[in-house]
C-alpha cells in the first residue's frame, strides 16, 4: 500500500473578519480545530512525474477537474520551490462535503504536502513547504499542521494552541456555497477595516462570546444555514451552535461524546437529507 495521510475537516470555531486588505484579501483572526471523524484520505505512489491518478469516495463527483485540484496545485507549488523534489501519483478519497466551509480541498493539499515531506525527508515546517502551502490557498498553511491553531492574516499566520478536545456535531445540507459570494456579502472595499480580532480562550464558555462574521451574509444566501443552526441549538445538551468557515456546514458543541452522538441521532431524524457527523475536535 502506498503511504497515505488523513485530511481532517477544518472547523472554524471563531472567525473574525478584521477588514479587507489593499490586495483584496480579507484580514482574518480565527480559532481553528480539526475533526477526528470527518476526513478525506490522500495517498502517494512514488514515481516519475506528477499526477492525480484517481479520485473516489462519496464526494468524488463534486471534486472538480484535476487541473483545479488543490492536491496537484500544492505539489506543483512545492516543486517550484524545492529543487529535485520526488513526487508521483496521488490517490484522493473524498469523504468531506465540497464547498462546505470545512476546508476539504485545503485539507487535501495539506495532506499532500505532508506526504511529499515524508517522501523527501523534509520537516513539515520546512520554510519552502510552508511557503508552498501559503501559495496554494489561504487555509492550506493551517491544514498543513492539521491541529488546533489561531489563524491570522489571510491565513498565512498560524500559531498552534492548546485546545481541550471538544465534542461536536457537524451538519451540512449537501448544498454548496460559494466562498467568494459570502465574502462579497460583507461589502468591504479594499483598505476598509471593521470589527476586532479579540479571540477568546478555547473553552466552550469563552467561545460563546466570539462569533463568525461570515454567518450573516451566508444566512442571507442560504436559508438552510439558519435551519441547521436552530436545529442544533435546540438539541439536548448543545452549548453552542455556529457556522464553520463560509458555510454551509454548521456545528454544535456538547459536553461530551455521548451527548454529541445522541444529538446526531436525533438530528438525522429531523434533517434526514443532511450530512451529519458527531466528532471530536482537536
Task: Provide the strand spans (E) within the chain.
Answer: 4-12, 16-20, 26-47, 51-56, 87-93, 149-153, 157-160, 166-172, 240-243, 250-254, 275-281
**199 has pLDDT over 90:** no
Mean pLDDT in residue range 135-148: 98
How many CA within 13 A on the CB side of residue 268?
10
DSSP 43-96: EEEEESS-EEEEEESTTGGGS--GGG-HHHHHHHHHHHHSTT--EEEEEEE--S
**pLDDT (0 to 100) of residue 65:** 75
How many CA within 13 A on the CB side of residue 135?
17
**100 has pLDDT over 80:** yes
Distance between CA atoms of 122 and 76, rounded to whole angstroms? 16
Distance between CA atoms of 2 and 225, rounded to whole angstroms? 39
DSSP code, position 149: E
The verdict on whether 139 is a catalytic residue reads yes
CB distance 73 to 37 below 8 Å = no
CATH of domain 166-281: 3.30.70.890
What is the percent of the chain where pLDDT is above 90? 92
The three three-digit cell numbers of residue 277, written as one number: 457527523
* Measured CA angle at 139 (ends 182, 13), to 5 deg: 70
Confidence of residue 204 (pLDDT cuts 50, 70, 90): confident
Task: Single out the catalytic residue among 29, 40, 108, 139.
Answer: 139
The verdict on whether 128 is a catalytic residue reads no
The three three-digit cell numbers of residue 188, written as one number: 468591504
Task: Single out the catalytic residue among 10, 40, 94, 108.
Answer: 10
pTM above 0.75, yes or no: yes
Which CATH class name applies to 4-160?
alpha beta
**113 has pLDDT over 90:** yes
Confidence of residue 66 (pLDDT cuts 50, 70, 90): confident
Does an H or E element contain 100, and which? none
Domain limits of the chain?
4-160, 166-281
Amino acid at each position: 500500500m502506498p503511504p497515505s495521510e488523513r485530511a481532517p475537516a477544518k472547523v472554524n470555531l471563531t472567525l473574525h473578519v478584521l477588514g479587507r486588505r489593499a490586495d483584496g484579501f480579507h484580514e482574518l483572526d480565527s480559532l481553528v480545530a480539526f475533526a477526528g471523524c470527518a476526513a478525506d484520505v490522500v495517498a502517494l505512489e512514488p514515481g516519475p512525474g506528477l499526477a492525480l491518478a484517481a479520485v473516489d469516495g462519496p464526494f468524488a463527483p463534486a471534486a472538480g477537474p484535476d487541473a483545479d485540484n488543490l492536491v496537484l496545485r500544492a505539489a506543483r507549488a512545492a516543486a517550484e520551490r524545492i529543487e529535485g523534489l520526488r513526487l508521483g501519483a496521488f490517490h484522493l478519497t473524498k469523504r468531506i462535503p465540497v464547498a462546505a466551509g470545512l476546508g476539504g480541498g485545503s485539507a487535501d493539499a495539506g495532506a499532500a504536502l505532508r506526504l511529499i515531506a515524508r517522501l523527501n525527508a523534509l520537516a513539515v515546517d520546512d520554510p519552502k513547504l510552508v511557503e508552498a502551502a501559503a501559495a496554494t490557498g489561504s487555509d492550506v498553511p493551517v491544514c498543513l499542521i492539521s491541529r488546533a491553531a489561531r489563524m491570522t492574516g489571510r491565513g498565512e499566520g498560524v500559531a498552534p494552541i492548546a485546545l481541550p478536545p471538544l465534542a461536536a456535531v457537524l451538519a451540512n445540507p449537501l448544498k454548496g456555497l460559494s466562498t467568494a459570494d459570502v465574502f462579497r456579502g460583507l461589502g468591504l472595499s479594499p483598505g476598509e477595516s471593521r470589527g476586532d480580532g479579540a479571540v477568546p480562550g478555547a473553552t466552550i464558555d469563552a467561545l460563546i462570546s466570539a462569533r463568525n462574521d461570515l454567518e450573516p451574509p451566508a444566512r442571507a444566501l442560504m436559508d438552510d444555514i439558519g435551519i441547521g443552526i436552530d436545529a442544533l441549538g435546540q438539541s439536548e445538551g448543545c452549548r453552542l451552535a455556529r457556522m464553520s468557515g463560509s458555510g454551509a456546514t454548521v456545528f454544535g458543541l456538547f459536553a461530551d461524546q455521548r451527548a454529541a452522538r445522541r444529538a446526531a441521532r436525533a438530528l438525522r431524524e429531523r434533517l434526514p437529507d443532511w450530512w451529519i457527523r458527531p466528532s471530536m475536535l482537536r
